[in-house]
Structure 1
């Protein structure tokens, strides 16, 4: 047998995970294992070549098969490939390679290939058998990325058909048993635990005096504080040993740039590097490579990218903002975007651990211990908060709509999944049974969101493959257009003036190749195909991709076809346009949101005819009848989704008017009708009998009356629609059961004859109060000598007496008159007879005549 391709002793020198290679070899005898190892232990570097060597040893055919390793981010995949290739003494693209969006460096001899989860997902859709692949290593599964979660379920299913496929999941946290249970066949897969090799770590707290975030995101004063804290801490570290590099964590690319700029102004003689997904490959390589002899000290400012996905060599100091950026879905507004949140404690611990890999380290947390205690223990899985449209399409193409039958770490949330399915039906990507259509399979091939894939497909017909690809490449890569204007950004990208122009151009060429594929060009042309003005190309493609985000100016804000209102960022050049195609709208508050709760971050202008062509399926022309201000009215409305294009008053038809009354009652409740005193009293009497006696006495709650509206109110609906007032007592009597209705006055009388001979009104409890009691309010003197305690509902519900003073104020509440006369009355008499001397207050209330008169008149 030829020698194994990798020298594990050389590659694993000094790596803690090298100590468990024997255990991992034994675990992989069954073909599946889970590795639990903290960041920095070397699992990403050493486990893939170990698996490659095992495949080589077991190979009996023409070749051992490639090891495909997933990394959650492009930067991490490239860095991992570069590091392993260096340790193996080869170049990237030979024995070790990588494939990420827009960048592939592999060859026929590549045995370990680092990829992003999206790349592997699309390979699975193309061929679930994964020909030529001998093993898959899922790295960083603890980050709970949506695509990684999908891969866990799909690969577990693949392995049921391919027993020779080696499958390894690697986690940096203690949730490894969860994945062991999912990947094992009947019994959990073995878990190989590699303890951290941490040196002593000093924790310092450096909270900022003000707020970390406000309605616009991370505050500038807080970023100033992070930069000052990092500069001071790095200066102290250099004074101690002269060689410490620092790693500063902030939530996003914009914050990285702001903190890095401040550090460059203050840290003379120090190299300040930026690390996030949008910096160029050379800058990423520089930040993730070790400092060479003679190089100045370094401060790397990074997003959460450097938490666990990759290692930044030489770090002995970590400065942590305690913030993270995570996807959040706003179902009410139909928006999904990245929001700034408090990082989890698990993430903060991983960040801190980066400082103690090589020797004693220090972490400075830019928050206090109370904030630490309030941080969530673990990060939120992406599937719990993200838009699921792309995931739902992938699962439908896989043959498991909604994830049905797949061993996923968590089920997909039902509301978000339902919204995603609705979107996919609108794109023509799913059939009635939830299976992928031919169009859906076509869209799944494009490595962008399915809506943008639809924009590429339709846009290629409408404006040409190249312009459509350029717009989709721009929108899909989260560029920040100046003033939110995508047309302006596209011009800068084409001219090469934008920092990301080279990467955008590569992506545009790749999407153009997809758009000109015969399968795409044979797809039916959209309604918008035809002449599109040059200055509206961007808006047309965005509108074709996201028709529900076509927007019209309404005063100071824009109304989207979906019904969402949003403001423009201050100073946006888009403010003068009546119509926009919105690519990015996010939750926000403050001046930019203009009171709407949302702000347009990226859009392009278009005109009304083009808006109507691109979103033709949202056009409606209908008569809308509403019941407002006490009467029904109708208008003929032409609309684009929620955007009214024209509205003309018309006469409502009787049937539509009745339906409008029904709809208004269902939405606003029966209080809209205005209950008269008589109708309200009747309803209360019936409610008490229903609550206490049950059937056949009718339920007269709002919900029950609305359900039976046609049984009791149908004849009056025309009158209500015409604006005439209706007494609801007669309609309500239609619900009375016969022959029991004849006993209504006996079981629930309107009045009660008291001892004085007066007929006092009984106040019945509200219809929605099943435990309420009927009440009689009467002057105390009118009940002298009355020992009986009256009851209604056939004697089941005692009447509650509110005994009043001569001035009508409550003196006592009782449902047992006999007990009142024998006890509390004496105290009431003592307090009241001096105040009301003209009224009788006998010592013996049993023998005194009941009266409504004063003592003299009596």
Structure 2
């Protein structure tokens, strides 16, 4: 029996006619409907023609609803079936990875975006489907963005009659409308119950999140806020936390809170999820505290909730492309996410949200969460695009283009595992060509390409069942309680009865039945658990194959260091295949979260494309090091000293040493430094062909001005014997003839009136001539070099500075008298005439009388 009373009361009901008109006119529409209005449950039923009777009944259409998460897909299907008075699998069904409830009469099918992506690759026309609804598109999951792009391609090229709806509670409506070809935006008004905001920051500062770590003090504070909310208000509590670990910790702190504590996340067992969605009626009837991740932000309605406690944190994917590490990281919730969470308290009645941060911080939160395409590993996306026939993804209609560097890194991975053909000169690091037959098989497995490679290549070696078991373990990281030893975690999953083990067995069955494995060996296979787990992990993540380098430390072939936890069984292993690792922003090494023991043969097999051997000559620890090396990426397997290394490699190493340590490696005599200062002066004052002799310029041209001496050098000490002054003369403008004027334009010495030839110092901003005052008697004009007056340092008879001037004539008139008065008594044997401009210059003392 159809529950018309409930269906008619859903606020989105009033927007349905406008939505239908928009689809009739344009084929696409954007539906913006606040949480709780029924957009996920009423709209598909209406568009499918399952509601109404007699003349009001609409023609039946096949509708697919795409949800970003499995838990949301199952819940939406069950809710729609209940509204129709049916069981799931009749006219409303669902398909998620590893589970399917669909019958011959099914008209509305709820699927995850990942399932829809696979379906599109197999059947681009989506034969028999009339309408596709992309629900919760504001979450900007990569699969959802990709599905939208593919569907727009289908409408443009194959099925213009296919109707497409982008639906969300809060979204960039204008952006989606543009993406869908200026589609109409239909807005539904919700029943807006007021939600009071209570600011509840910790009394003491807490450390900001980094990596996966959340300050335990914040979790303790969140638990105390939940207790406060239970005491201050009626109704159930929905508490948002970033991940499963934090949920477990807060649940432990609420053991005596006087309410039933439930945990909702993607890994929660189906019966727990059902209990939460059933409301208090499905439990003991008392108050409930539901601890949830972001899965409860918008995709699910949790009955009975009047209070939301928001820890203010979320998890987003991050990829370190340089190190080949991908992981979730803890971030501050966005403003849009915080609004979504708060809205859960006002779904059924007035409520309140307790925000565990200061009000002043709220405006500094990001407006929206980061689109996954901007921050995630793009290997799976790049493979899907290649299978679709657009390897560069340039022709796909996406709200945000994929970052070029991330896409190039993804293509390189696909080339390395044989999923796409290499294309030279395409700017993508050697990858990015057409998909191979092997790549199509990988894409159809519904796994990350790395795991698909491990399954396809590992099954013939160890047996389909065992390969599928390890890959299933890697496709959803096991709980931390399983430990960091992959083989031990495998054994725990085999005998486990928890929710993770149940999902793991379901995924194993799915992979075992995959037709892409039909040609693989189907037996149990050979080898210990350690050997099998190590081989599969190494095939999946060859750049993370690692060799021990001290107690608890290892070096991956990618060059990334790793650290194992205290007490780990893996600490004594000479080789590891690292499956999961993350590197905090401030850490020098990655933390190994999950790995398996392997041997060197397995390392060579898995990471064989990184195996190189040859001569290596480079600058290391202050000198040239020459050796013959066999290495697996950054890991040295064998080393032997070279007695006669290639001279070109030695020369390159010496140049590298100069660039690293500077020109001080050369021999700079006083004359050499003086020549450099003179050339620097001429370059600055005259320019033209006079060379730039700054450190940067000389290092950039070192191979030119240091030859042939550099070619004869073999080590650091040879550089120390190289005469820099002689080499510098090669840079003089010999071809123009200006080099012959060096001593004229920037003389090394200037002859003064006394007959002395005094050195000019060019090292400062102005040439300096330091000379005893008596030697300049009678000189009326300041000496010049290249037209620039020198700065004269007039010295006392003892050689100490007495005056500085760039205008001798002025000094004789105005400054000399004061200097004479001060020094003549101190140096009576030296001449101090009253008129120095007419006196005879001298280097000598007055004659004794």
TM-score (norm 1): 0.86
Contact 2:65/2:135, CA 8 A, preserved across alignment: yes
Aligned residue in 2 for 1:770: none
Separation in structure 2 between the aligned mates of residue 56 and residue 808 of structure 1, nearest angstrom: 111
Corresponding residue of 2:273: 284
- Conservation of the 8 A alpha-carbon contact between 1:16 and 1:41: yes
Compared CA separation, residues 11 and 704, structure 1 to 2 (3 A): farther
Q: Does 1:41 align with 2:37?
A: yes
Indicate yes or no: 2:213 matched with 1:217: yes
SS where residue 455 of structure 1 aligns? helix
Matched, 1:109 2:99: no
Tell me which residue corresponds to 2:569: 573
TM-superposed CA distance for 1:555, in Å, is 0.8
**In 2, distance between residues paired with 1:148 and 1:809?**
81
Cα deviation per residue 1:218-262 (whole Å; 9 max; x = unaligned)? 122221111111012112113xxxxx1111011101101111222
Q: Tell me by how many angstroms 1:348 deviates.
A: 1.5
Match of 1:400 in 2: 390
Which position in structure 1 is the counterpart of 2:183?
Answer: 189
Structure 1: distance between partners of 2:295 and 2:405: 30
Q: Secondary structure at the match of 2:18?
A: helix
Task: Please report how far the alpha carbon of residue 581 of structure 1 lies from its aligned counterpart in structure 2 after TM superposition.
Answer: 0.7
Shift of 1:508: 0.9
1:450 maps to which residue?
Answer: 449
Tell me, what secondary structure is at the counterpart of 2:300?
coil
Q: Deviations over 1:721-775 (max 9, x none)?
A: 244221222223223222222223334444556677662433346xxxxxxx344
For the Cα contact (< 8 Å) 2:780–2:837, is it kept in 1?
A: no
Cα deviation for residue 550 of structure 1 reads 0.9
Which of 120, 135, 145 is the matching residue for 2:131?
135
Alpha-carbon spacing, 1:276–1:820, altered in 2? closer, same or farther (3 Å): farther
Q: Which moved more, 1:489-498 or 1:747-756?
A: 747-756
Q: Taking structure 1 as reference, are residues 747 and 85 closer, same or farther at Cα in structure 2, changes over 3 Å only? A: farther
Deviation at 1:483, TM superposition (A): 2.9
Task: Tell me if structure 1 keeps the 8 A contact 2:96–2:112.
Answer: yes
Query: What secondary structure, in the 3-state scheme, does the structure 1 residue paired with 2:491 have?
Result: helix
> 2:376 and 2:804 mapped to 1: Cα distance?
58
Aligned pair partner of 1:538 in 510, 514, 533: 533
List per-residue Cα deviations over 1:790-848 (Å, max 9, x = no partner). Answer: 665x54x665677889998989987677788889x69x959994999659999999848
Please state if 1:426 is matched with 2:426: no
For 1:397 and 1:308, the matched residues in 2 are separated by: 32
Q: Could you say if the C-alpha distance between residues 654 and 107 of structure 1 is closer, same or farther in structure 2, counting changes exceeding 3 Å? A: same
Please name the residue that 1:159 is paired with: 155
CA deviation map 1:528-583 (0-9, x unaligned): x9964443110111011111111111013111111100111222221121211100
- Secondary structure of the equivalent of 1:120? helix
- Structure 2 distance, partners of 1:662, 1:130, is 62
1:283 and 1:74 map into 2 onto residues whose CA distance is 14
Which residue matches 1:658?
651
Kept after mapping to 2: 8 A contact 1:719/1:726: no
**Using the alignment, how far apart are the partners of 1:475 and 1:152 within structure 2?**
28
Structure 1 residues 206 and 850: CA distance shift in structure 2, 3 A: farther
Show the 5 A alignment for 1:365-764: 365-433=355-423, 434-435=432-433, 436-481=435-480, 482-514=482-514, 517-518=517-518, 532-556=527-551, 557-588=553-584, 596-628=588-620, 631-651=623-643, 652-665=645-658, 670=663, 672-673=665-666, 675-690=668-683, 693-700=686-693, 704-705=697-698, 708-722=701-715, 723-724=717-718, 725-737=721-733, 738=735, 739-751=737-749, 759-764=758-763
Deviation at 1:353, TM superposition (A): 1.9
> Could you tell me how far apart the structure 2 residues matched to 1:10 and 1:821 are?
111
1:413-463 deviations in whole A, cap 9, x for unaligned? 122122112211211222123222222222111211111110001111221
Distance verdict in 2 for CA 1:730–1:177, change over 3 Å: same
Structure 2 residue 84 is matched with structure 1 residue 88: yes
Q: Which digits, 9 at most, give the CA deviation of each residue in 1:360-389, with x for residues without a partner? A: 211111121233343223222212221111
User: Which residue of structure 1 lines up, in the alignment, with residue 328 of structure 2?
Assistant: 338
Find 2:121's aligned residue among 94, 118, 125.
125
1:193-233 Cα deviation digits (max 9, x unpaired): 23454322222222222414466711222211111110121
Q: 1:631 to 1:234 in 2, by over 3 A?
A: closer
Paired residue secondary structure (1:217): coil
Q: Could you tell me which residue of structure 1 aligns to residue 429 of structure 2?
A: none
Cα contact 2:137–2:144 (8 A) shared by 1: yes
Superposed counterparts of 1:759-774, under 5 Å: 759-764=758-763, 773-774=765-766
Counterpart-to-counterpart distance in 1, 2:33 and 2:798 = 82
Question: Could you tell me which residue of structure 1 aligns to residue 428 of structure 2?
Answer: none
Q: How far did 1:713 drift?
A: 2.5
- Alignment partners' CA distance in 1, 2:802 and 2:323: 55
Aligned counterparts of 2:842 and 2:822: Cα–Cα separation in 1: 16
Q: Pairwise mapping of residues 205-244 of structure 1 onto structure 2 (< 5 A)? A: 205-208=199-202, 209-213=204-208, 217-238=213-234, 244=235
Cα distance between partner residues in 2 of 1:438 and 1:386? 26
CA contact 2:622–2:657 (8 Å) conserved in 1 = no
Change (3 A) 1:456 1:786: farther
CA contact (8 A) 1:631 1:721 kept: no
Structure 2 CA distance for partners of 1:662 and 1:534, relative to 1, 3 Å: same
Q: Distance in 2 between matches of 1:799 and 1:326?
A: 65
Match of 1:98?
94
DSSP 3-state at the match of 2:268: coil
Say if 1:131 and 1:667 are closer, same or farther in 2 by CA, change over 3 A. Answer: farther
Contact 2:67–2:111 (CA<8 Å) still a contact in 1? yes
Partner Cα separation in structure 2 for residue 832 and residue 198 of structure 1: 96
TM-aligned CA distance change 1:479 to 1:280, over 3 Å: same
Q: For residue 192 of structure 2, what is the aligned residue in structure 1? A: 198
SS of aligned partner of 2:49: helix
3-state SS in 2 of match to 1:309: coil
Q: Is the 8 A contact 1:231 1:266 kept in 2?
A: no
Give the match for residue 173 of structure 1: 170
Indicate the larger mover: 550-559 or 164-173: 164-173
Unaligned runs of 5+ residues in structure 2 are: 424-431
* Structure with max Cα Rg: 2
TM-score by length of 2: 0.87
Pairwise CA distance, 1:13: 3.3
Distance verdict in 2 for CA 1:749–1:568, change over 3 Å: same
Q: After TM superposition, give the deviation of residue 55 of structure 1 in Å.
A: 13
C-alpha separation in 2, matches of 1:260 and 1:365: 18
Matched-pair contact (CA < 8 Å) for 1:64–1:134:
no
